[in-house]
Structure 1
Amino acid sequence: MFQVNRSENRLRKLEEKRFADLQLREREHLQEWLANQPDTLGEELLIIQKEFDGFADTRERLDLLALDKDGHLVVIENKLDDSGRDVAWQALKYTAYVSSLTKAQIIDIYQHYLDRFCGGGNAVQSICDFLEVDELDEVVLNPGNDQRLMFIAANFRKEVTSTVLWLREHRIDARCFKVVPYGFGEELFVDIQQVIPTPEAADFMIGMTEKTAEEKNWHDTMRQRQRFHEVYWNRVIGHLNTKDATKYKDLSSSRNHWLSIPSPLENTHFSLVLQKRHIRAELFLAWPTREETELVFNRFCARQAEIEGKFGQLLEWIKPEKKRTARIQLSKSSDPYSDEVVDEIADWLVNTYCELETALRGALNEISESRLSAEYGES
């Protein structure tokens, strides 16, 4: 930090000091500075208690307890020249302790603070004024698990910074502020800077945290879906075995959203499929080339009227132009992951597949035999 001498157009470096060398103490000095000027921490805060010790079965005291403009509790832990190794653990304990405080308890804590340190006042009205509301019934104080942590020190040990960064990755609002005293003659200056996250990076880090949380939620959902699929397809296989225990004895469950069932024609299989908004039973064609798939698909299409007549209703005949796959299917709008229709969907899939397999059986066998005949005829 520098002083500007405007008359000489020169800078003069201020001398960085240690709190200990200046005989400044944590509670008597730093804590009082912050309690009386909390906006030095970069935002509007309402200090509601200092040296708070209202924890059951413990004599521990947190340095400062505050409310932010959203009604969240903020635990502020102060150190001087060195953060020490245990400050993060202490603050986490205190945050856990205050996480259960109710609105009535917060008002009572603040009222005691006003009476003891501020010459009295109305806690409810002061909180309303701070939050800019007419009635305290309009807001929630200390919602959920959204308590915040602030660490103040001249230097932070790695144990502390690593913990704070880890907490932020898990969407806990923890911040570090570096406070450094400077001397200039008989005058004393204090510089307080947010270092984790830096103000410039705060929005970016919030965005990255939200992105990470979104990805984690997606992965958690996918793992749940995979477990659901495995259990569900076992149930479907059980239904199939009641139809023909010999035919489906080798079927095994899957963690995918589809269950494959062999067909007599190579490069072709039946599938039972669960999608987010629909279910379907299908014959799936996937030959080595797009031309081969199209050739076989057209042979099925030539018997469309016969197949749909046996099936009893119209089917969906799907051949994407640029893909080497094709499908003959029947789909139904439904939410397969709803507990209310799990058995209903299993019955529909099994019955629809069985009817589809029966309707396609003749065409499958004929196309399979004709391809074998052509292959052996050429040899």
Structure 2
Amino acid sequence: MAIYKLLQNEIVPMERTTFGLQGIRERQDLQNLLKQQIEIIAPDVLVVAEEFADWEDSKRRIDLLGIDKEANLVVIELKRTEDGGHMELQAIRYAAMISTLTFEKLVAIYSRYLEDIGSTDDASDNLLGFLEWSEPDEDQFAQKVRIILASAEFSRELTTSVMWLIDFGIDIRCVRMHPYVHDGETFLDVQTVIPLPEVADYQVRIREKKQKEREAREGTRDTTRFNLVISGTRMDGQSKRWVMFHVISALIRNGIHPDEIVETIREFKKRPFEVFEGTLGEEAVYDAFSKMDSSAKLHLAKRFFSEESQLFHVDNRTYVLTNQWGLRSFQSATALSKRYADMQIRLEPVDD
């Protein structure tokens, strides 16, 4: 978005520039200015450290470390580049490294920062006053670490990573800083681009909904493993998908037609195979799945046992077995073991 200056008879566009062209350095200029007015990119945040690196075995430094009104620690990373570099990866490392800070430790960190900037304020009093606490409350302190990335621009790779992290509950935002020049003066356009302020509340609700759905799926996911015996060969600790692969593979090797297997387990699994005409190899099968649904987020081949050694070739057809076996896989295996009793298929759940 461009910025314009309104004059009496015309609207004059301001010229977009870069920090480099204006001689604005990352640490000495941009960081130094923002730490004094941090509300420009991080409202309701108190800066407690600059170039923070209070850990062993690492030379990494947090540009600015802050704390917000809810007593959450805030990692602030600044870049004057046009793509943001890999700042999200750096910030995640920093967030993990400071996540165990205590209030007492932060007081010591903040005290050094106040001394460095020539302030005689008491660090503990300042923190308590900012948080509106009468005394330290470790139960409420640093329950979350927020991340703020501020840059001239952000690459698609970076924004994709940030959106994915947000989807999993990480509090991270991107603030874009565009410098402009007009009549010898430099202006700065600052906007939060992720999440968009207009839809931030909506995105929070969507994220919470997804999180609840994710937790519900995890709670109902059956991770039971089985000990499997086929014709005297024992295979312990098999997941459902591998139980079905080993059972069906053994049956087909012993002359049982895949169509007969389909008929036997139809009640429990309506479509266990994807069938292609001809004798196809792994690459040809992959291409065939690609043509079926090119827009799928997860390639269809990933939902099947589609490696070369896992394909079944019968009657000039290629049968590809699904690896998506749910709660009724045990019934499917049991039905096959009963129909083909001579294969001596035995299946028992493994105790946790």
State the TM bucket, normalised to the shorter chain: 0.5 to 0.7
Residue type of the alignment partner of 1:17:
T
- 2:184 paired with 1:182: no
- 2:75 paired with 1:91: no
- The corresponding residue for 2:13 is 13
**Offset at residue 208 of structure 1 (A):** 0.5
**Offset at residue 138 of structure 1 (A):** 7.7
- Supply the distance in 2 between the matched residues of 1:119 and 1:85 (Cα, whole angstroms): 34
Q: Describe the SS at the equivalent of 1:137.
A: coil
Residue type of the alignment partner of 2:77:
E
- Supply the distance in 1 between the matched residues of 2:109 and 2:165 (Cα, whole angstroms): 27
**Offset at residue 42 of structure 1 (A):** 5.0
Could you give the per-residue CA deviations for residues 22-55 of structure 1, whole angstroms, max 9, x where no partner exists? Answer: 1110001111122011111252100000111112
Q: How does 1:108-187 map to 2 (within 5 A)?
A: 108-137=108-137, 140-143=140-143, 146-187=144-185
* CA RMSD, Structure 1 to Structure 2 (Å): 2.0
- Supply the distance in 2 between the matched residues of 1:118 and 1:45 (Cα, whole angstroms): 20
- Point out where structure 1 has 5 or more consecutive residues left out of the alignment: 232-254, 256-379
- 2:4 paired with 1:2: yes
Larger RCO (CA within 8 A; separation ≥ 6): 2
Q: Describe the SS at the equivalent of 2:137.
A: helix
- The corresponding residue for 2:207 is 209
**Offset at residue 227 of structure 1 (A):** 5.7
- Supply the distance in 2 between the matched residues of 1:107 and 1:183 (Cα, whole angstroms): 41
- Supply the distance in 2 between the matched residues of 1:93 and 1:87 (Cα, whole angstroms): 10
Superposition misfits of 4+ residues, deviation over 4 angstroms: none
- Supply the distance in 2 between the matched residues of 1:196 and 1:162 (Cα, whole angstroms): 10
Out of 192, 195, 216, the position equivalent to 2:193 is 195
Larger helix fraction of residues: 1
- Supply the distance in 2 between the matched residues of 1:73 and 1:137 (Cα, whole angstroms): 14
Residue type of the alignment partner of 1:109:
I
Contact 1:77 1:152 in 2 (8 A): yes
**Offset at residue 186 of structure 1 (A):** 2.0
Contact 1:63 1:78 in 2 (8 A): yes
- Supply the distance in 1 between the matched residues of 2:83 and 2:92 (Cα, whole angstroms): 15
- The corresponding residue for 2:282 is none
Could you give the per-residue CA deviations for residues 293-332 of structure 1, whole angstroms, max 9, x where no partner exists? Answer: xxxxxxxxxxxxxxxxxxxxxxxxxxxxxxxxxxxxxxxx
Q: Describe the SS at the equivalent of 1:24.
A: coil
**Offset at residue 10 of structure 1 (A):** 3.0
**Offset at residue 81 of structure 1 (A):** 2.7
Residue type of the alignment partner of 2:200:
A
Contact 2:77 2:149 in 1 (8 A): yes
Tell me the number of residue pairs that the alignment of Structure 1 and Structure 2 aligns: 225
Distance 1:183 1:11, change over 3 A: same
Residue type of the alignment partner of 1:207:
R
- The corresponding residue for 1:67 is 67
Contact 2:103 2:136 in 1 (8 A): no
Distance 1:118 1:208, change over 3 A: farther
- Supply the distance in 1 between the matched residues of 2:100 and 2:178 (Cα, whole angstroms): 34
Could you give the per-residue CA deviations for residues 209-245 of structure 1, whole angstroms, max 9, x where no partner exists? Answer: 000001011111112xx568x99xxxxxxxxxxxxxx
**Offset at residue 12 of structure 1 (A):** 1.6
- Supply the distance in 2 between the matched residues of 1:114 and 1:38 (Cα, whole angstroms): 15
Residue type of the alignment partner of 1:181:
P
Distance 1:172 1:85, change over 3 A: same
TM score, norm. by length of structure 2: 0.61
Residue type of the alignment partner of 2:175:
F
- Point out where structure 2 has 5 or more consecutive residues left out of the alignment: 227-239, 241-352
- The corresponding residue for 2:296 is none
- The corresponding residue for 2:55 is 55
Out of 221, 242, 249, the position equivalent to 2:219 is 221
- Supply the distance in 2 between the matched residues of 1:227 and 1:53 (Cα, whole angstroms): 42
Contact 1:75 1:149 in 2 (8 A): yes
Residue type of the alignment partner of 1:59:
K
Q: Describe the SS at the equivalent of 2:18.
A: coil
Residue type of the alignment partner of 1:113:
Y
